[in-house]
Amino acid sequence: MSRAALLLLADGRFPAGGHAHSGGVEAAVAHKAVHDIYSLEAFCRGRLHTTGLTTAGLAAAAAAGCDPLLLDDAADARTPVPALRAVARRLGRQMMRAARATFPSAELDRLAAERPQGAHQPIVQGLAVRAAGLTPKDAACAAAYESTGGPATAAVRLLSLNPLDASRLLARLSAETDTVAAAAADAAARVTTEGLDVLPSASSPLLDITGEQHAAWTMRLFAS
């Protein structure tokens, strides 16, 4: 197992398409709910403990070897709006392409064949982490980090914030990110004995509503 492999998979420059998505922050900026570094931190904290926890659980379970097709259904049941399901699958398709190029594995090939339109992104991410010889906890950590890293970077562009403030914000959230990742990995470890229902399904009403609103915009900077 290689630490550097995890850094590569979690790097914003890994060509998996994440940079084109704001994780809901573009809609929140438009509604003036996020307007400075403090409201951005509140946004990131809320996203980490809802979507972040849920995706980290799915990623960890995929990395632990749970059936990715069952996980894909579990992800659908945890994503009640079509716009966010479409985003998750599009990101999954892009992640699949990058993952198969970097960490080829039979499991990734099989999922790509079963879900040609793309599986939910955290499941592909979990399989990629597995293919790289890393642990479910690593997958959870990458997914949880991404749940705040994406919106923070997007908000810097949308609000012309100081990138140093945004990095400080992410550093402040790092202990909480670890806690969320640990909770997600614990849940994933219990799947074999207790079933998929133990995976987190934390959700946020506003991310669902504004995700669908954002998809209906004609002019936008980010794809979601």
Partner 1 sequence: MSAGTQLDRPKAAFDPASPPTGTEETCGHPDGVRATARIRATYNGRVTTLPELRSDGPFHLRRMRTGGRAATVGVIGAMSAPLGGDRLALDITAEDRAELDVTTAAATLALRGPTTAPATYDVRLSVGEHACLRWLPKPLISAADSNLHQTCTVNLAATSQLVLREEQILGRANEKPGHLVSRIRVHRAGRLLLDQHTAYGDPEPGWDGPAVLDGHRAVGQLLVVDPELDLQRAPVLLRKGTKDGCAVLAPLAGGPALLATAVARTSSALRELLNEALGHAFGE
The residues that touch partner 1, with contacts defined as CB under 8 A, are 24, 28, 31, 33-34, 39, 42-50, 73-74, 76-83, 85, 176, 196-197, 200-210, 212-213, 216
Which is nearer to partner 1, 133 or 195 (by Cβ)? 195
With H, G, I as helix, E, B as strand and everything else as coil, classify residue 200. coil
CA distance 95 to 19: 12
Determine contact, residues 24/153, Cβ cutoff 8 Å. Answer: no
Shortest distance (Å) from residue 42 CB to partner 1: 3
Nearer to partner 1, 97 or 157 (CB): 157
Q: Which amino acid is at 157?
A: R
Tell me if 183 sits within 8 A of 200, measured CB to CB: yes
Q: Which of residues 78 and 90 has its CB atom nearest to partner 1 in the complex? A: 78
Please say which residue, 167 or 204, places its beta carbon nearer to partner 1: 204
Between 13 and 117, name the residue whose CB sits nearer to partner 1: 117
> In sequence order, what DSSP letters do the residues of 76-101 get, joined into one string?
HHT--SHHHHHHHHHHHHHHHHHHHH
The sign of the dihedral angle between the CA atoms of 185, 189, 192, 193 is negative
**Cα Rg for the chain, rounded, in angstroms?**
16
Return the half-sphere exposure (C-beta side, CA atoms, 13 A cut-off) of residue 35: 4
For 168, list phi and psi in degrees, rounded to 5: -65, -40
State which residue, 8 or 70, has the beta carbon closest to partner 1: 70
How near is the Cβ of 207 to partner 1 at its closest, in Å?
A: 6
